[in-house]
A and B are shown apart, each in its own frame.
Chain A
């Protein structure tokens, strides 16, 4: 079974503070993704990466940075957290392009106050 683990699982952050969400996969997958899920909405892609030391913008990258220091690790960074960034964040990995299924982590619930 593919394994994607996220930390922290839950966090309360102060507006304007810095938040780092971490993701680790043991699948030997090249592709990693960060999505956010809001109540009543589907998942939206924030950033993705297909190789270490390289990241790409997804559909909603504003206010977020990403870092891929190794194949196994992919972080999402909120330099200045805002109320609108309260959401559940999911990390995922996949083998490659064009339709391989995604393997998701358990999610990180972020509340910005």
Chain B
């Protein structure tokens, strides 16, 4: 089946104010991507969604994608302590009722 790999794997530690880039690669051709944020023990909240591989922006967050390279990235600029948590990417198949395949997530810790 489809597989989604995230990097950095497991965890990333930043100093407050630094920028971060998280990446997601997938094993098959997919048609949409979403990035989610999850606090420890909390619900997933959608950050950015792209149905057509267009670049998406939301405040300090930007997602970009290269479908021909089977890869998408989430850029976090000027990181803040409150950005700490787990970031998960999910890829979707067109016309598949939002059947998403999730990556395992990258845990981000932003330190003062």
CB within 8 Å of B: which residues of A?
Answer: 4, 31, 33, 35, 40-45, 48, 50, 58-59, 90, 92, 94, 97-107, 109
Bound state CA distance, A107 and B3, in angstroms? 24
Q: Is the CB of A99 within 8 A of B45?
A: no
Q: Is the CB of A48 within 8 A of B42?
A: no
CB within 8 Å of A: which residues of B?
Answer: 1, 4, 10, 31-32, 34, 41-46, 49, 51, 88, 90, 92, 94-105
- Assuming the A-B contacts A42-B103, A42-B105, are A90 and B32 also in contact, with contact meaning beta carbons closer than 8 angstroms in the complex? no
Contact residues in B for A50 (Cβ distance below 8 Å): 97
Residue of B nearest to A39 (CB): B104
Q: How far is the CB of B58 from chain A (nearest CB, A)?
A: 12
Q: Is the CB of B1 within 8 A of A98?
A: no
Contact residues in A for B88 (Cβ distance below 8 Å): 42-43
Contact residues in B for A45 (Cβ distance below 8 Å): 99-100
Q: Is the CB of B34 within 8 A of A42?
A: no
Contact residues in B for A40 (Cβ distance below 8 Å): 10, 104
Residue of B nearest to A6 (CB): B43
- Assuming the A-B contacts A42-B104, A59-B1, are A104 and B45 also in contact, with contact meaning beta carbons closer than 8 angstroms in the complex? yes
Contact residues in B for A103 (Cβ distance below 8 Å): 46
- Assuming the A-B contacts A99-B32, A101-B46, A107-B41, are A42 and B4 also in contact, with contact meaning beta carbons closer than 8 angstroms in the complex? yes
Q: How far is the CB of B95 from chain A (nearest CB, A)?
A: 5
Q: Is the CB of A99 within 8 A of B104?
A: no
Contact of A105 among B43, B49, B51, B95 (CB under 8 A): B43
Q: Is the CB of A99 within 8 A of B105?
A: no
Contact of B94 among A33, A42, A98, A102 (CB under 8 A): A98
